[in-house]
Amino acid sequence: MLTWLSLLFLALFALAAFLLGRGRALKAAGGASVRLHSLPNYYGAYAALWAGAPAALLLLLGAVFGGRLEEAVLQAERPAAVSALTPDRQDVFFSDARAIAAKEAPSEVVYEGELKTALDAKVAESRKITAIVRYSTIGLASLVALIGVLLALPRVGLEFRARNRVEGWINGLLIACSVAAVLTTLGIVLSLVWESWRFFQSVNPLSFLFGTEWSPQIAMRADQVASSGAFGAVPLFAGTFLIMLIAMLVAAPVGLYSAIYLSEYASRGLRSTIKPLLEILAGVPTVVYGFFAALTVGPLFRAGFNAIGAVLIGGPLDGVGQYLMEVQNQMALVAGVVMGIMLIPFVSSLSDDIINAVPQSLRDGSYAMGATKSETVKRVILPAALPGIMAAMLLAVSRAVGETMIVTMAAGLQAKLTVNPLDTVTTVTVQIVTLLTGDQEFDSPKTLSAFGLGLTLFVVTLALNIIALRIVQKYREQYD
Amino acid sequence: MTDAAITAGAAPHGQGPRATLSAAEARLKKRYRSEMWFKAQGIAAIVVAMIFLVVLVGRIVAQGYTTFETHSISVPVYLNPDRIDRTALDGVNYDYIVAEAVMKKLNIQDDDLGTTSGKVMDLVSRDLGFQLLDKIKADPSVIGKTIEVTGPVKADADLYYKGEIKRATAEEDRKLDNQQLGWLDQLEKSGTVKGGFNFGFFTKSDSTEPEQAGVLGAVVGSALMLIITAMIAVPVGVMAAVYLEEFAPKNRWTDVIEVNINNLAAVPSIVYGLLGLALFINWLHVPRSSPLVGGLVLALMALPTVIIATRSALKAVPPSIREAALGVGASRAQTVFHHVLPLAMPGVMTGAILSLAHALGETAPLLMIGMVSFVPGVPEGFTGASTVLPVQVFIWENASERAFHERTAAAILVLLIFMIVMNAAAVILRRRFERRW
């Protein structure tokens, strides 16, 4: 609230600086603005920028990092009674102290005796620190704003190149925005690597990447059975691969054939109806596909396999029949097929672009030799478009590997090392979701393993994208 | 092909030109057959894709449309002063008082064990009990009088009225027994229960009781989150694109940024969720499951797509515009901000709306930042706990009650309508304002 108020004041101050700067420039020009180097508004903008921008940045930083700062100062000195607590309880203690100070609801932990006095002391201290941080930020921001104006205003004069200066500011802002993209990547890499590193301190990276048993359930107490948990991710990789394979078996032929038909055979009218419909399929949120898989496709497939099983039972294939009677709603095939449906428009639109990029002269040459349309497609267009289509397929694979909602809702949770599409499998993304939803303590290997999986996922999808880009760059035919 | 070639090659020696002709005809026939076959495969692919689309949308509509109809019950309730303890209003069993009123309508008596009243309570939503409490709290003088309350019937009773629980099903396989079904028929015949449009679905938020659950909280949460996403992703994305397209020198650094943006666009959404968890929640202590943190994560996710769309819109503006502006003495910044960007604006807005529509449907990263928690009520603001539409779909899909499944499908329909509106807006924007040079 206070931050918003001070930002409002700052905006008013900057407006005043704008008017002052503009007025000063006009006065220097004696009312004839043509004598100025830049338009009068640029002088105003220059003054306003110096008045507002650095102070606003300071306030924003205060709002974002102020909480961290307060916390660090508050925890710098720990009373003896608090130091006796376990690290987890210490965190709860300090967060309670801050919550009470901020008049928010604290946790339900009851403090008594020495802890109570320590808590009260810390609450008072927290209030004090909050006030100090808050007012010193505002004070500093006002000072910076004032200095900014005092520095900027005297420079406004006839010869002053205000426009160039203002454009320098704009340029800086634009560069900062483009750096945001790089910072995002850096943030992803750093957070994944950092948390994974903590995970790999308790679990050997080799046994993570090549272990064949996955059961991350860490027991609450050390003496319980299976207290260690197993973090061998191979079953997850296998499950991800199986589902991806099924999805590609659906998406690749349907997507590619529909792209060929749309670009080579379809009339303009048909094309303009089918393409938007495919775009609808592409725009459907993945959670909807997940719902469709879990409540429509799953039961349907199960009923189908059960019916086949009922026929087979008692015959020569009795064993198969028995097995088919027992399949569950959650199987790799369901998740794979639905994911394939999701990828059809993706493969189709990418392939369509690539096929359309093959120059018309190649087609005309082929037709002139007497080839039919299908021969032209198979012998001329597809070979020419092959690198692009390969890249499109790799991008689709990358999408399939990273897809989360369909598999979470339709694939299941059991980590099994199997190639049977009727079996329940689990994937990397499903495990990340399961490990990180619900209660989490942030230091257990169980939670941290999600970041190990995330890092693997990130590296694999990144590699697929880079390979796809390379294929296109290296093998693309230059026709013009 | 090869067979035809061999016969064609062998023919001329023995049988003369006629055979050659028939061999060529056979070959041609074969080629046309394969042409037809290939074309048929293409048509089949399109048909398969369209069938998938129809089945997907059709199933969801079929599962969801029943939600929009609901049945409500109106009964006069006598607020018996002997039963209501004025000193502890919250502790009174209002559900029983409502059940009594319904039993009076049905002309039945409760037995000593209270099984009959228990069965009646299974038919009427607890919402009526809460209404009684609210009325008494607002005006304690109503105690001892008879007041009329209207509220939904329980989800199972509603399913029976809609024909989804059938009398033909064996009694032990359905949630309601024959006696309860008889009562329901009796209530409907006497006009106590009436069907109507389910306004509650749009005016209520999540609840553990299906008949009281609605999407309002999720819609508001989605809106708040999209505001944050739009306020960050669109300006930052547009400015980044303007820099890269119009100002940046071609050197190694800008190449790095370009490759970076292309790769970011293909990073799985769940990885953004991990980033949000590690960076915003654990490090910066942004409140969990708030629209603020959700919006920040989705903004990072939408940023590359906004940049790519804006760049292609800027590329489409012909260089002659820039040259003309520079020619009359505008600076580069003036050229871009006064001429190029306004001309590219329709394309920029189209791209921005499309990536926001995509963000609206995103679920996976939001699960990482704690949005799966049960949030009754409308979110209190940008930092309050909230849920959003796709996550609401996910939560309801996990619920075991059958009545939640139809609500899930209905929530999907609401979500799809929002997405269709956004996409249509983008298309209209493109059609109306796009200029071809």
* Total domains, chain B: 3
pLDDT at B162 over 60: yes
B367: domain CATH number is 1.10.3720.10
Name the residue of chain B whose CA is nearest to A439's CA: B370
Sequence spans of domains, chain A: 2-160, 230-475
Q: What is the DSSP string of A75-103?
A: HHS--HHHHTS-HHHHHHHHHHHHHHHTT
Domain boundary residue among B65, B81, B97?
B65
Domain co-membership, B37 together with B155: no
Domain co-membership, B379 together with B408: yes
Domain boundary residue among B174, B206, B238?
B206
Across the interface, do B361 and A171 touch by the CB < 8 Å criterion?
Answer: no
A473 and chain B in contact, CB less than 8 A: no
Distance CA B300, CA B365 (A): 11
Token pair listed for A194: 């950092």
Name the residue of chain B whose CA is nearest to A460's CA: B267
Domain co-membership, B194 together with B220: no
Domain co-membership, B179 together with B281: no
Residues of A whose CB is below 8 A from B267: 188, 402, 458, 461-462
H-run or E-run covering A214: strand A214-215
Domain co-membership, B179 together with B229: no
Show the domain range for B57: 2-65
Distance CA A145, CA A458 (A): 43
Residue B211 domain flag: no
Residues of chain A numbered 145-184 and touching chain B (CB < 8 Å): 163-164, 167, 170-171, 173-175, 177-182, 184
Separation in Å, CA of A115 to nearest CA in chain B? 25
Domain co-membership, B57 together with B129: no
pTM for the predicted model, two decimal places: 0.88
A257 and chain B in contact, CB less than 8 A: yes
Residue B191 domain flag: yes
Give the largest CA-CA distance in chain A: 106
CB atoms within 10 A of CB B369: 25
Residue B100 domain flag: yes
Domain co-membership, B56 together with B107: no
pLDDT at B12: 47
pLDDT at B7: 46
Domain co-membership, B307 together with B295: yes
Across the interface, do B32 and A454 touch by the CB < 8 Å criterion?
Answer: no
Across the interface, do A178 and B244 touch by the CB < 8 Å criterion?
Answer: yes
pLDDT at A418: 85
The answer to which of A14-18, A301-305, B123-127 has the lowest mean pLDDT is B123-127
Query: Among partner residues B266, B358, B408, which is closest to A291 by beta-carbon distance?
Result: B408
pLDDT at B2: 46
pLDDT at A256: 95
Distance CA B398, CA A438 (A): 14
At A441, the pLDDT band (50, 70, 90 cuts) reads low
Domain boundary residue among B159, B176, B206?
B206
pLDDT at A218: 55
Task: Find out whether A153 and A48 touch, Cβ atoms under 8 Å.
Answer: no
Which tops the pLDDT comparison, A88 or A401? A401
pLDDT at B15: 59
Distance CA A51, CA B91 (A): 61
Task: Find out whether B98 and B161 touch, Cβ atoms under 8 Å.
Answer: no
The listed range with the strongest mean pLDDT (A28-42, A118-132, A199-213, B349-363) is B349-363
At B16, the pLDDT band (50, 70, 90 cuts) reads low
pLDDT at B1 over 60: no
B419 and chain A in contact, CB less than 8 A: yes
pLDDT at A480 over 80: no
- pLDDT tens for A214-244 read 887 654 444 444 445 688 889 999 999 999 9
Arithmetic mean of pLDDT, B38-62:
94
pLDDT at A156: 87
Cβ density class B69-80: b for 16+ within 10 Å, e for less: ebbbbebebebe
Domain co-membership, B302 together with B350: yes
DSSP letter at A153 equals G
Residue B295 domain flag: yes
Nearest residue to B338 (alpha-carbon basis) of A39, A307, A69, A3: A39
HSE (CB half, 13 Å, CA atoms) of B377? 5
Domain co-membership, B337 together with B284: yes
Interface A:B, Cβ pairs < 8 A: 254
Task: Supply the ipTM of this predicted assembly.
Answer: 0.88
- pLDDT over 70 for what percent of chain B? 96
pLDDT at A228: 58
Residues of B whose CB is below 8 A from A280: 53
The answer to which of A42-46, A265-269, B89-93, B131-135 has the lowest mean pLDDT is B89-93
Separation in Å, CA of B57 to nearest CA in chain A? 9
Decide: helix, strand or coil at residue A231: strand
B268 and chain A in contact, CB less than 8 A: yes
CATH number of A230-475: 1.10.3720.10
pLDDT at B9: 45
B275 and chain A in contact, CB less than 8 A: yes
pLDDT at B6 over 50: no
Domain co-membership, B160 together with B100: yes
Its sign, for the CA torsion A246, A247, A252, A253, is: positive
Domain co-membership, B182 together with B258: no
The answer to which of A30-34, A168-172, B41-45, B207-211 has the lowest mean pLDDT is A30-34
The answer to which of A1-15, A79-93, B1-15, B230-244 has the lowest mean pLDDT is B1-15
At B414, the pLDDT band (50, 70, 90 cuts) reads very high
Residues of chain A numbered 6-65 and touching chain B (CB < 8 Å): 64-65
Across the interface, do B46 and A274 touch by the CB < 8 Å criterion?
Answer: yes
Name the residue of chain A whose CA is nearest to B408's CA: A291
Which residues is A215 bridged to in the sheet? A230
Token pair listed for B113: 């064990």
Across the interface, do A181 and B31 touch by the CB < 8 Å criterion?
Answer: no
pLDDT at B8: 45
Separation in Å, CA of A203 to nearest CA in chain B? 20
Residue showing tokens 């033909």: B168
Arithmetic mean of pLDDT, A164-177:
93
Residue to mutate among B37, B252, B275, with most A CBs inside 10 A, is B275
Across the interface, do B56 and A465 touch by the CB < 8 Å criterion?
Answer: no
HSE (CB half, 13 Å, CA atoms) of B407? 36
